[in-house]
Structure formats: structure tokens, C-alpha cells
């Protein structure tokens, strides 16, 4: 069936734009021999909104949703932060999600990692993420990299992306990815969490500061910080705020945390914005 003809079956959208549900759009993709992510982009280009994103509007515009659905985002890590970020970005409608993690699930991950459950212990985190994200949004093109970041692979991992989101659990990998993102002229959203607390910073290609402004010469977590553990709710809060910052950037809006750090204290429920540089 012709793709344009297939789209003519889209229903009404409260007078704003025609809507098409998942089943109909997947049928259109199959009939036109196109991958689902490409069918979604074609529908948006013709003014048809996938019904799954109807509640995103008018918080964002139709044009911004179309832009999000054409974007490629790299998420570095599939654990506590990464599971939150990937889940929210898939539901948002990011067209292409590339994610990397060389780790497997352990019992200690169950308190906070969204893709971890008792049936997935010892499963590769990227495999679990891909399975779950495909069920959440079949219109996202998923690229899972079962590998840890290294100086040898970081450039390829970040190639041709629009945004990099940090979900690492260690300082050296964060610094490596942040430098690579700057080299490739891509925004980098940093997030970290320990115990009740967390932080977010956005580094743009022309930022006057880098992660060294936060970590200085440190390359390992302080033992006292490691002893704090990580509360699942703290990881979810910081991951959600990273996903919201990513949403602003993907829409073409001004970031909230460029060159300044948001510090979140979950014990008191307070936040503080700290200028860097």
C-alpha cells in the first residue's frame, strides 16, 4: 500500500492535527516496507501526529515533537541514571537512542535500576534495556553497545549524535566522554548521584568550563561518598532532570544548567544553582 494513502486513515486530534495510533502506523510501515522509526518521521512530515505523543503537546509544539523524533541521543550507561533517562526519552519520542554499558545486572542493582528485576540478574544491561525500550516505544531506533567506554571507542560511540547524556558511575569515564563531546561539538548533560544527593551540569561545545571545574584532579570517588550508597528515588530524580534538560536541548530551547551546577539535596528537599568558572 502507498504510505500516503495509508496515512489518510488517521483520525482527528481535537481539531489541531490528525492523529494515528500505534497499530495503524505500524501497519503503514509494514505495508510500505519501511522501518517504524522512519514511518513515524514521514507521518510527522505530513502533519500527522502519532497518538502516543498527543499529551506532549502543547507543552511542546508539533514542530518540536517532530524535531525530537528526528534526533539521535547517546546515553552513557544503563543503570540507575541511565534506566531513568532512557525510559523517559523513549516515551518522549527520541527517534534514535544509542546506549552503551558493558556491565551485567547484580542483586545490588535492584533498588534503583529500572531495567533490573529478579529474572534479569546476570543479564547484560544493554540487552535488558533494548528489550524493554522496544516494548515502550517501537518507533525508536535502538542501538545497544555492550561495551564500556574507552579512549579507543568513545569517538565512534558519540559519532553523528545530537546530544550526549551522562549516566556513568565513575569520574574517568565522565571526563573522557565530556572531552569527546566537546571535540565533536555536541552538548553534554552531566549527572551524578550519591545517597540522597545529586547534581546536574550542561556543557555546551563553547562552554568556558568543563567537568574539571567540578572534579579538579579527582579521578576516584571519595570513600565517604561511596559509603553513602544510592537511593533509587535520588537516581530517579536526577535522571528525570537530565531527561528534562535533554528535552529542552532537543527542542532547540535554552538549557537550564549550562555552565552552572544544580545541586539537589533530597534529605532537605532543596536545590541550589552554583555558577561554574
Which domains are seen in the chain, by residue range?
8-65 (no CATH), 71-275 (3.40.50.720)
Q: How confident is the model at residue 5 (pLDDT cuts 50, 70, 90)?
A: low
Q: All 3 cell numbers of residue 178?
A: 565530556
pLDDT at 122: 97
Residue 244 pLDDT greater than 90, yes or no: yes
Task: Determine contact, residues 71/95, Cβ cutoff 8 Å.
Answer: yes
Output 266 or 32, whichever has higher pLDDT. 266
pLDDT at 222: 64
Output 87 or 225, whichever has higher pLDDT. 87
- Cα gap 235→153, rounded to integer Å: 27
pLDDT at 223: 63
pLDDT at 219: 65
- Cα gap 142→123, rounded to integer Å: 18
pLDDT at 61: 96
Residue 14 pLDDT greater than 60, yes or no: no
Mean pLDDT for 91-119 is: 97
pLDDT at 246: 98
- Cα gap 168→230, rounded to integer Å: 13
CA angle 153–159–160, rounded 5-degree value: 165
pLDDT at 17: 86
pLDDT at 13: 52
Amino acid at each position: 500500500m502507498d504510505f500516503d494513502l495509508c496515512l489518510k486513515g488517521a483520525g482527528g486530534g481535537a481539531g489541531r492535527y490528525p492523529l494515528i495510533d500505534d497499530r495503524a502506523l505500524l501497519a503503514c510501515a509494514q505495508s510500505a516496507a519501511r522501518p517504524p522509526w522512519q514511518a513515524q518521521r514521514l507521518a510527522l512530515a505530513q502533519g500527522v501526529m502519532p497518538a502516543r505523543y498527543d499529551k506532549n503537546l502543547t507543552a511542546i509544539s508539533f514542530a518540536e515533537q517532530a524535531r525530537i523524533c528526528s534526533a539521535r541521543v547517546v546515553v552513557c550507561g544503563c543503570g540507575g541514571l541511565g534506566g531513568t533517562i532512557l525510559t523517559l526519552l523513549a516515551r518522549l519520542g527520541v527517534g534514535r537512542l544509542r546506549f552503551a554499558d558493558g556491565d551485567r545486572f547484580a542483586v545490588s542493582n535492584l533498588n534503583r535500576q529500572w531495567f533490573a528485576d529478579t529474572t534479569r540478574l546476570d543479564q547484560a544491561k544493554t540487552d535488558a534495556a533494548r528489550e524493554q525500550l522496544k516494548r515502550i516505544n517501537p518507533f525508536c531506533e535502538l542501538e545497544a553497545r555492550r561495551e564500556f567506554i574507552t579512549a579507543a571507542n568513545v569517538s565512534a560511540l558519540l559519532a553523528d549524535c545530537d546530544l550526549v547524556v551522562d549516566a556513568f558511575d565513575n569520574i574517568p569515564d565522565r571526563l573522557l566522554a565530556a572531552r569527546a563531546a566537546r571535540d565533536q561539538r555536541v552538548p553534554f548533560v552531566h549527572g551524578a548521584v550519591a545517597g540522597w544527593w545529586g547534581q546536574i551540569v550542561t556543557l555546551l561545545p563553547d562552554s568556558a568550563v568543563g567537568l574539571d571545574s567540578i572534579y579538579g584532579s579527582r579521578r576516584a570517588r571519595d570513600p565517604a561518598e561511596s559509603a553513602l550508597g544510592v537511593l533509587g528515588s535520588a537516581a530517579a530524580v536526577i535522571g528525570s532532570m537530565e531527561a528534562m534538560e535533554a528535552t529542552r536541548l532537543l527542542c532547540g530551547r535554552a538549557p537550564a544548567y549550562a555552565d552552572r551546577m544544580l545541586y539537589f539535596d533530597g534529605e532537605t528537599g532543596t536545590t541550589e544553582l552554583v555558577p561554574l568558572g
